[in-house]
Amino acid sequence: MSTPAPVSPPVGLHAPMLPTPPTTIPWLGLVAVLMGTFISTLNSRLSSYGLADIRGAVSAGFDEGAWITTAQTAAQMLVTLLAVWMGATYGPRRVLMGASISFAIISLLTPFFTSLPMLLTMQFLGGIATGFFIPLTLSFILLSMPPKYWAFGIALYALNLELSLNISASLEGWYTEHHTWQWIFWQNVPLALIMTVCLRRGLKVKPIPVRPPNDVYALVSGGTGLALIYAALDQGNRLDWLNSGLVWGLLLAGGLLLVAFFVHEARTPNPLINLKVLISAPMPSQIVLISFLRLTITATTYLIPLYLGSVRGYRDLEVGEALVWIAIPQLLFCPLAALMLRRSDARLVASIGFIFISVACLMVAYTMTPLWGTTQFLPSALLQALGQSFALSGVIFVGILHLNPKDALTFGAVLQTSRLMGGEIGSAFVTTLARKREQIASNLIGLHVQSGDAQVLHRINDYAAVTTRTIDPLGAVHRGQLVLDNAVRVAATVQGVMDCFVAVGFFTAIALLMIVFRGEAPEGPASPLPFFPLHRSKPS
């Protein structure tokens, strides 16, 4: 009888797995990876809110300065696959420590470069460093925490994303009001160093059971394709989308590289990404749901500052007072979401979250007026905070219930791609929709503001009487016309923002339907017993 041939171990980013589940929580390691998630998102948002100050420091105009944030976030997309591959090859501890130390040095030096090319280079390098943080967070939670605590790890992961997104405006405003714009970068230095210490003390070096293949072509083609498409989306609104040759070039080049990546992965015997995991249920719907969530989250963090800044003339510090009411309640709502995930169906938790987000958007859409300030946003902000905590935690947990821990690295890469790309698609969609709807509203209102009309002249005279005390009839009329023009602009902006909130509520309703009609998930880690496999055993 012939001896059976030895079975080769599986390869790819889905290969590494633990032989037995852990029994204790590595608290310092958990703090470290969650800090990485927090730092990555916070740094991106701070650069966006402080873009005007950064542009002024390097004497950059609007068009060339727009690439400052793109350089950072496109670099994060570029290294998504590389981050997961390096984590599987060298271990998360070495990779994250190298990235955190590099990011601390880059953040310390960036403000000293006052030329735009050098600043773009530093932003790109900083994006590469922070691009390693998030993809390895979920894999660490799944592979290093006891299964019965996964729900709390996911809730903390969601808390980090939400908190960092919504406190950025307040931090940037406080830095520029009380210090200088350089602190937008320097605040990352102590955070990154604390993260390094936690990584050093909290993560152990473990042997790698199976190393993924050294597929350089897949790493370069996949990462570059994603980065090019991301850059096109980030610059599309400014360049008027398909009317720009640059946007066309970025989209075509990125699309071709991604097609080449997937063809290569399907044909190679040792693929970098487990395509079976990527295309099998529920991963496609998971990608859509996470993208929808990022669309809603990014949209509201853009629309509220747009209204408060353009209509009410608020500064970033004052805008942050509204967004902080979405951030702070997460400290209470995320643990509540974790408890519900442990004791109920994750689909129910996600559905409750989507319902709350949709209702919050419609509350704003149908009650907003040009007189709104930060206080008027409070009810919808609290409801949205509750909804975002439940929806994000529930959606991620539904995906994990269908996942074997050995596929955690693939899931981390998919989540990072969906998070960044979904957020960018949402931002591009909402900024373009707000601009278009504002233009349409301005045109429709302008049809009723005709030169020489009696009501228009009466309104201009009323404005002139209020805005001047000097005996200058012509100057008073001109100022009255400016006030009327500003009133039309304000009304058009408010209408555009309201229309965007209606659209966001509509997309949230679609995501809700996707969750409602999704099949029942396998039995998850509700107790210490199930780990491998996660699937419920069928009765005979």
First to last CA, the chain: 35
Amino acid, res. 79: V
- Given phi > 0 = left and psi -120 to 50 = alpha, else beta, which region is 149? alpha
**Residue 118 structure tokens:** 């050098």
- Residue 148 DSSP label: G
Alpha carbon of 464 to those of 412, 445, 453: distances in Å? Answer: 60, 21, 16
Sequential pLDDT tens for the chain (540 residues): 444 444 444 444 444 444 466 677 788 888 888 888 888 888 887 787 788 888 888 888 888 888 988 999 899 989 988 888 888 788 788 888 999 999 999 999 999 988 899 999 999 999 999 988 877 777 777 777 887 788 888 888 877 777 777 787 778 778 877 778 888 899 899 999 998 988 888 777 666 656 667 788 888 999 999 999 999 998 988 888 888 899 999 999 999 999 999 998 888 887 777 777 777 777 788 888 888 888 887 777 788 888 888 888 888 777 877 777 777 787 788 888 888 888 888 888 999 999 999 999 999 988 988 888 888 888 888 888 888 888 888 888 887 777 766 666 677 777 778 877 887 888 888 888 988 998 898 888 777 666 656 665 556 665 565 555 555 565 666 666 676 677 788 888 899 999 999 999 898 999 899 888 877 766 554 333 333 333 333 333
- Residue 270 DSSP label: S
Please list, residue by residue across 189-205, b when 16 or more beta carbons sit within 10 angstroms of its beta carbon and e when fewer do: bebbebbbebbeebbee
- Cα diameter, the chain: 113
**Residue 201 structure tokens:** 């003390």
Omega of the bond leading into 473 within 30 degrees of 0 (cis): no
CATH for 21-212 is 1.20.1250.20
Cβ–Cβ under 8 Å, residues 301 and 374: no
Q: Which CATH superfamily is domain 280-447+500-522 in?
A: MFS general substrate transporter like domains (1.20.1250.20)
Instruction: Go through the chain and tell me how many residues it has.
Output: 540
- Residue 111 DSSP label: G
Compute the Cα dihedral for 348, 345, 511, 157 and give only its sign.
positive
